[in-house]
Chain A
Amino acid sequence: MNKIDVKDVNFYYGNFQALKGINMQIQEKSVVAFIGPSGCGKSTFLRLFNRMNDLIPDTRMEGQILIDNEDIYAKGVPVDELRKRVGMVFQRPNPFPKSIFENVAYGLRVNGIKDNEFIRHRVEETLKGAALWDEVKDKLKESAFALSGGQQQRLCIARAMAVSPSVLLMDEPASALDPISTAKVEELIHELKKDYTIVIVTHNMQQAARVSDKTAYFYLGEMIEFDNTKKIFTNPSQISTQNYITGRFG
């Protein structure tokens, strides 16, 4: 079943066309990786899925993006509600200057949940889901800044998960992490796809190969190839894709 359906999407920063005629279907509970050189439009495309680009002035989108068959750019769609369903994790861990517990509880409280027992239960459940519980259960009241970079990033993933989204967007989630933390985040992605649809932007080709079911290669705002990850990394259909993944690009 398709979770996300992208139809003829064009996107503009002012007069500059950053995305050109993108069509894509993303299956539910799968991991899709976007790869491509800097400036190819992959992060721009990712941010369309929770309307993060709405915050950038003088931008414009054409086409349709459907999540659960609902046009997320239709008039009257509440963006706050959309972002509850479509969580996002950024390149650098960005925990709030609060305790570990409150970082995860934040989204719940903002959404008006006041039942402390429910919040406590949900924080524990989410931290377990983010494979962080065992490392932080005895220091939930300590500052999130006391955690390592890798732990902070998993905390941010837990924070995104706390409001029960069904889609997680990850923009280079492990690029600022050491190899051990990266491996933990990748294992986590593997676990999370049982419950979530995950779209990840990465510059790390091996990471895309390891974690994703399908991979899309972008170049100059166009989606050059979108196929099973195994196919992309063993025998891509497009020479441009092959040149990029084998390092012969440019």
Chain B
Amino acid sequence: MVKFIESELVQLKKEVDEMWTLVYNQLDRASEAVLTLNKEMAQQVIVREKRVNAFELKIDSDVEDIIALYNPVAVDLRFVLAMLKINTDLERLGDFAEGLARFVVKCEEPALDPDLLKNIRLEEMFTQVLSMLETAKQALNEESLEIATSVFAKDNLIDEINGDVTKKLVDYIGKNPESLSLCLNLISVFRKLERSGDHINNLAEEIVFYIDAKVLKHQGKTDENYPQNNNK
């Protein structure tokens, strides 16, 4: 028998899925815009940010309706709460994409030094963030704890790249003093990507909460071996 709430939850998942795709595309375009300093593409990202915000409001409103009208419990409640928090995290990721695009728009350089880019591993950082976001989405679609927890391990690489970048940029500024302003902005770019990794970690934690009713947040570094360690 088809229940009212069932169709509402299916619809909510569909909307979150669309929002997820939109935010992924925003970060993907922002990545390309940053790496190539493509101002036109950056402008597209900035314009599309309004769609992300509109989506967030729509999902918030739908979650409010479901809670008010259908009183979800147990797995349904966990799903709705997870979608609400995932919605917030996705919106923040959208903000970061916009912030990256604004870096490109303001950047006065014609292109980034390829040797610098290689040294600071910026492309690798972008690739990793996008990979995490895709993996988390796959975890939700397949309702897989295993895939969700694989996201946590990916965040380690992001932290590692981010941890090295300040020193590398300081060294670069020492040799190229005219690049001071650019390098400071690049630190901000890395900061946004590192924070993106944290938000994608949050997405994975919410998926674990939905599937397994386990709260992983605020436990220090998220246990990438969950749930195996949890069962010991």
Instruction: Name A residues whose Cβ lies closer than 8 Å to a Cβ of B.
Output: 205-206, 209, 232-236, 242, 245-248, 250
Q: Which residues of A contact B5 (CB under 8 A)?
A: 246-247
Bound form: Cα–Cα A230–B75 in Å: 13
Instruction: Find out whether the CB atom of B71 lies under 8 angstroms from the CB atom of A234.
Output: no
In the assembly, what is the distance between CA of A236 and CA of B74, in Å? Answer: 7
Q: Which residues in window 141-185 of B have CB below 8 A to A? A: none
Which chain B residues lie closer than 8 Å to A232 at the CB level? 74
Whether B1 and A205, one on each chain, are in contact in the complex, defined by CB atoms closer than 8 angstroms, is: no
Return the 6 tightest CB-CB contacts between A and B, nearest first: A235-B213, A233-B73, A246-B76, A247-B3, A242-B74, A245-B73
Interface membership of B123, Cβ < 8 A: no
**Which residues of chain B are near A233, meaning CB under 8 Å?**
73-74, 77
- A206, A234, A246: residue with the most chain B Cβ atoms closer than 10 Å: A246
A234–B72 Cα distance when bound, in Å, is 10
Cβ–Cβ contact B1 & A246, under 8 A: no
- Cα A205 to Cα B73 in complex, Å, equals 9
For B73, list chain A residues within 8 Å (CB): 205, 209, 233-234, 245-246
Determine whether the beta carbon of A234 is less than 8 Å from that of B6. no
Give the Cβ gap from B89 to chain A, nearest Cβ, in Å.
22
CB-defined contacts of B74 to chain A, threshold 8 Å: 232-236, 242, 245-246
Q: Which residue in chain B gives the minimum CB-CB distance to A248?
A: B3
A250 to B75, CA, bound (A): 17
Assembly CA distance A236 to B75 (angstroms): 9
CA distance A234 to B78 in the complex (A): 7
Which residues of chain B (20-74) have a CB below 8 Å from chain A? 71-74
Q: What CA separation (Å) do A246 and B1 show in the bound complex?
A: 13
Contact of B75 among A205, A206, A209, A242 (CB under 8 A): A242
- Interface CB pairs A-B, < 8 A, 13: A233-B74, A233-B77, A234-B74, A234-B213, A235-B74, A236-B74, A242-B75, A245-B74, A246-B5, A246-B73, A246-B76, A247-B3, A248-B3
| Assembly CA distance A209 to B72 (angstroms) | 12
Q: Are A246 and B75 in contact (CB under 8 A)?
A: yes
Contacts A209-B73, A242-B75 supplied; 15 other A-B pairs, CB < 8 Å: A232-B74, A233-B74, A234-B73, A234-B74, A234-B78, A235-B74, A235-B75, A235-B78, A242-B74, A246-B72, A246-B74, A246-B76, A247-B5, A248-B3, A250-B1
In the complex formed, the residue of B with least CB distance to A250 is: B1
A209 to B213, CA, bound (A): 18
Report if A234-B3 is in contact (Cβ < 8 Å); known contacts: A206-B71, A246-B72.
Answer: no
| CA A205 to CA B77, docked complex, whole Å | 14
Q: When chains A and B are docked, how far (Å) is the Cα of A248 from the Cα of B6?
A: 9
| Residue of B1, B71, B75, B78 ringed by the most chain A CB atoms within 10 A | B75
The CA-CA distance from A93 to B192 in the complex, in Å, is: 64
